[in-house]
Copies of this chain bind each other. A is one copy, B any other.
Amino acid sequence: MTADNQQERLDPQWVTGFVDGEGCFHISINQHERMSMKWQVLPEFRIVQHSRDEQLLKEIQRFFRAGKVVVNHGNRKELRVRKLSELKRIVKFFEQNRLRTQKSRDFRLFSAVLYLMERHEHLTTAGLKRIANLCWKMNRKVKPRYLESSETPRRKSQ
């Protein structure tokens, strides 16, 4: 593959297939003393590849006009998108270009969290809990630490 070939614009369906395989929609909720809620909601979209495909990650970065290519670990690089405005662009893309793997379920949850964040619900206790419950359903389904913390309002039944 030559550098010239790399400059062709990527096909949206190719990008969708590649993200179905290699993309990750992830949301973490981290303790953060300086935030008004003491917890920070951090949505992230990433694609990790061996560094030999760094150029391709940069192509995808240009395609989405989003994120940056950084070291993941060792000889792995990642395209990492964290800016809300850029994530919204990516969500819009996958609303128009449907993911076909079960990753589409993670995507829908991710998209729902972004919608809540746009409405600033992550800055309310009820909204933060709602977001944490959505996160819990995503990815590896580890219960967010926020839901275990003393700051979480309790319900009689979950």
When the two chains form their complex, are residues B21 and A100 in contact, meaning their CB atoms are under 8 A apart? no
Q: Besides the contacts A1-B100, A14-B20, what 13 more A-B pairs have beta carbons closer than 8 Å?
A: A1-B104, A5-B98, A6-B100, A10-B100, A13-B17, A14-B16, A14-B100, A16-B17, A17-B20, A18-B100, A21-B21, A56-B100, A56-B101
- Give the contacts of A1-58 with B (CB-CB under 8 A): 1, 5-6, 10-22, 49-50, 52-53, 56
Check A102 for interface membership: any CB of B closer than 8 A: yes
Q: Tell me the complex Cα distance, A81–B10, Å.
A: 28
**Docked complex Cα distance between A15 and B100 (Å):** 10
A contact patch SS = helix
- Min CB–CB distance A48 → chain B (angstroms): 11
Chain A 99-132 against B: per-residue CB contact (8 Å), 1 yes, 0 no? 0111010000000000000000000000000000
Kindly identify which residue among B13, B52, B59 contacts A102, using a CB–CB cutoff of 8 Å.
B52
